[in-house]
Structure 1
Amino acid sequence: MSSQVNWSQITHNSGWDYITNLDANIVWTRKTGSGDEWVRVPLTQNLSEREIHLNWFCRREFYTDDDGVEWTRRVCEDGRRGEWRQVEVMAAETTPVAHRYLWLIRQKQPYPQPFHWSLAIGPENGGRCTIYQVKGDAFAMHYSHTIDVEIFNSNCFQDCYQLAKMDAAGEAWVDYYANIEIPPFAANQETVAENCQDWTIRVLRALQSSEIVSLQRIREVESLLDYQKDGHRNFG
């Protein structure tokens, strides 16, 4: 090691001495108090000189270059060093995002009642949902919205139809329209012209105007309306 170059003062770290040539950007090291010859640290060209940290427990040195990349090398008991190698960064495990969807849910009712319809927002593989629906006699129905319901596992579950993929804005629109579309009502049973199925379609048409549900999906839902044998709607 030449004494003619401009050397910085010796630094100590975890039982090792380090000295740096400020002009040539070279680092030398030796074990503290050993009196051994200085050993040059073989920095590669793409690594800038930084303070080197020794982890004595695992006998490795570490340092980080200007790009934030961490490097390491093995330290032998006799002071020899291995080659610098980039520290592998383990990719963080990510939890798949469970997308939520708008569903049409059909449930069985005692014969000859038509299927009960409701709208549900929940994950693709089933699970707990937010339910938007109206219930009661067809001439005096009322809102009966519920949250955190396992509707796919209900005893009266018939089938379901996926209508649209939901995001926060879509869910807000569903909640909005499901609470402003008036439940069906009539003066008496003879004048009934709507039931839960018609209310559901009204909500879907409102969602279509906000580009949440497609017109094609609405037409598919309309094809599921229950009719009596004489061709008239079955309002229950």
Structure 2
Amino acid sequence: MPDIEDINTIIKRSVCNGREFVTRSDGTSWTRKLDRATNQLVSDWTPVEQPPADTEPSQSEQRQQQQRLAARYLSIVAEHQAPNEPKHWSLFTHILPANSTTDTARGQVWQVKGDAELMHHDYAADVDQLNSPDFAWHQVLRDDLSEEEFRRVDEIARAESPPRAVNRAAVREHCQGWVVRVVKQLVKEGIVKEGIVAGLEAVMDPIVR
């Protein structure tokens, strides 16, 4: 790993939502977690990752869309967990008002949580998932989700069973696998493009036993 603290290579440094971010002269970005009360370090540097595939509209396209009408987005959001733990994935939908000047808004989250042997559904509304303090990356699956499609996504996510295993050694799936299973169902329904699945499977983190 490069010397992240080398001041001669740091071109930008910032702190936001309990995380420190730096951008280096080689174009890479890094982050580490801070204690919000004491500002002490609680994790090592990790790279800020890009979405698994370039499927998001460009910023200019997003601005043009926002200038025309409000849009409901469906995205996958990845968040950092403890060091050496796989990232947490969730499905997130939010509505950007017409002519919005920001890319984020509060919305609905579908996810599974808990130990990999006995995970459970954990859904929430009115969550600003894209501003999570542990945010790693997000990938837009749709930027024009209809109200009918939103209801269908909700039905599919709630019907997809959480990962289970009889013991730790038997674990074959975590939250990322559950998200991929939901996305596969959305592909079958024509809500999400088929090529999304391969890109997601290529960046899944390994099972930690």
TM-score relative to the length of structure 2: 0.62
What is residue 198 of structure 1 aligned with on the other side?
177
Distance 1:223 1:123, change over 3 A: farther
Unmatched tracts of structure 1, length 5 or more: 1-94, 227-232
Task: Map residues 39-58 of structure 1 onto 2, 5 A cutoff.
Answer: none
* Identity, % of aligned positions: 33
1:224 pairs, out of 179, 203, 207, with: 203
Greater RCO, CA 8 A, separation 6+: 2
The structural deviation recorded for 1:97 is 2.8
Kept after mapping to 2: 8 A contact 1:139/1:188:
yes
- Once the two structures are superposed, the pairs formed by residues 61-210 of structure 1 within 5 Å of their partners are 97-123=69-95, 125-164=103-142, 165-210=144-189
SS of 1:186's equivalent in the other structure is coil
2:183–2:192: 8 Å Cα contact kept in structure 1?
yes
Relative to structure 1, the CA distance from residue 176 to residue 97 in structure 2 (aligned partners, 3 Å threshold; closer, same or farther) is same
Distance 2:74 2:199 in 1: 14
Contact kept, 8 Å, 2:172 with 2:207, in 1: the verdict is no
SS in 2 for 1:123: strand
TM-score by length of 1: 0.55
Which is richer in helix? 2
CA distance in 1, matches of 2:202, 2:74: 18
1:181 Cα deviation after fit:
0.5
Where does the alignment leave 5 or more consecutive residues of structure 2 unmatched?
Answer: 1-66, 97-102
Q: SS at the partner of 2:177? A: helix
Q: Which residue of 2 aligns with 1:234?
A: 207
Q: What does the per-residue CA deviation read over 1:22-70, in whole Å, with 9 as the maximum and x for residues that have no partner?
A: xxxxxxxxxxxxxxxxxxxxxxxxxxxxxxxxxxxxxxxxxxxxxxxxx
Change in CA separation of 1:187 and 1:140 when aligned onto 2, cut-off 3 Å: same
Q: CA deviation at 1:234?
A: 2.4
Moved over 3 A (4+): none
Q: How big is the shift at 1:129?
A: 1.5
CA RMSD of superposed structures (Å):
1.5
Instruction: Give the partner amino acid of 2:177.
Output: D
Q: Deviations over 1:130-170 (max 9, x none)?
A: 00000000010000000010111111111100011311111
3-state SS of paired residue (2:89): strand
C-alpha distance in 1 between matches for 2:192 and 2:68: 25
How many aligned positions are there?
136
